[in-house]
Amino acid sequence: MDELIETLSRFSPISLDQMDQVTLLDRIDTKYILNQEKLAELLGKIADSYYVLSIDGELLHPYETLYFDTPAFDLYKMHHNGHQNRYKLRFRKYVNSGISFFEVKLKTNTHRTIKKRVSVSKIEKSLSEKQQQFVHDCTNDEFKDYLPSLKVNFNRITLVNLKVGERLTIDTNLHYGDEHAEKDINNIAIVEVKQQKHSVSPFRQLMRENRLHEFYLSKYCLGITCLNESFKRNRFKRKLMALNKLGYDVC
């Protein structure tokens, strides 16, 4: 982690207000999972292409997230079974800024990510009637009785390319928990390239040059599979094995 922070010191800083020029609540995501040391080595090559989000001089920003699912984990199953129209529900707190949202994150059959959210005062352990109606309005959902399913805390680094309207998020130091178990995953970096449409991206070009391939496995699905060994995971098994063979020891 120290190597990564040292590399980021070579990037020019950007404020939260400046970064909000690139909100990307409707976007295309490209995801990678890398070793933190390798990522630090590679990022130095594109320091001139991105700004790094700095809040009060801090580049590493803690996030707290509480996901919701049905008692039967239907939302997880939709992801596992590859439903093209699916969604996740969560409260998210941006710890450094003190801002919290309740969010509905949709994945469409055109592979776009659409995030809809409402401001809240804090993370709650149940959904209000107003929030349940918000979910229904966003998804036309058929499920009821959403319950807390997974706590995910992590640190995020955000890079921004204002020229092409791109955000790059780097999530590290993952801590998962539910009512039965907890697990830390500290040695990986989950990187997401977020764009309005597929376009020129210095980071994606860097990945191609180094033969590092896209790797799609959400933090939610990773956490659910790690904490619930009895859950169906056939669709994710090969990816989990690949991560473990690389020495990431995820689950």
- C-alpha–C-alpha distance, residues 155 and 226, integer Å: 19
Q: Are 1 and 172 in contact (CB under 8 A)?
A: yes
Domains of the chain with CATH codes: 2-245 (2.40.320.10)
| The two three-digit tokens of residue 46, written as one number | 């594109």
Return the CA Rg of the chain: 18
Among 22-26, 59-63, 193-197, 202-206, the range scoring the smallest mean pLDDT is 22-26
Instruction: Give yes or no for a contact between 29 and 194, defined as CB atoms under 8 angstroms apart.
Output: yes
Tens digits of residue pLDDT in 94-145? 998 899 999 999 998 888 999 999 999 999 999 999 999 999 999 988 788 8
3-state DSSP helix/strand/coil % of the chain, to nearest 5: 25, 35, 35
**DSSP class per residue in 173-202:** EEEEE-SS-EEEE-SEEEEEEEESSS---H
Please write the tens of the pLDDT for every residue from 4-58.
989 999 999 999 888 877 777 788 899 999 988 999 999 999 999 999 999 999 9
